[in-house]
């Protein structure tokens, strides 16, 4: 899949997830998405540190 197809697919999935939620719940989902991305960054930091030490 090229960048456009991937982006379209993700935006459809975001739509399915957020549609029908009330604003408070939508806001909470955005907050959780932030936490997911922060966790991914932390995982990356830890794994690259471990790999550098090996």
Partner 1 sequence: MTRVYFELSPLIALANRFDIFHIETREFIYEIKRLGFEPISCKQAVEMDLAIGVAKRPLRVADALRIMEAIDIYGIKLLDAQSRTLLELVNEYLKEARLNIGDLLHYAGATLLGTDYLTSWNTDDFNPRFEKSVNRVNRRKNLKTIKVGTPTKIMEWMSWTASR
Provide the binding-site residues for partner 1, judged by CB under 8 A. Answer: 1-4, 6-15, 17-19, 23, 26-27, 29-34, 36-37, 40-41, 43-44
Closer to partner 1 at the Cβ: 13 or 49?
A: 13
Could you tell me the smallest distance in angstroms from the CB atom of residue 50 to partner 1?
Answer: 15
Closest approach, Cβ 45 to partner 1, in A, equals: 10
Tokens 């806001």 -> residue:
27
With tokens 């982006």, the residue in question is: 7
Q: Classify the C-alpha dihedral 30-32-33-34 as positive or negative.
A: positive
């Amino acid at each position: 899949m090229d960048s456009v197809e991937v982006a379209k697919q993700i935006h459809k999935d975001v739509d399915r997830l957020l549609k029908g939620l009330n604003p408070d719940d939508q806001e909470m989902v955005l907050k959780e998405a932030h936490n997911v991305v922060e966790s991914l960054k932390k995982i990356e930091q830890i794994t690259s540190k471990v790999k550098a030490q090996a």
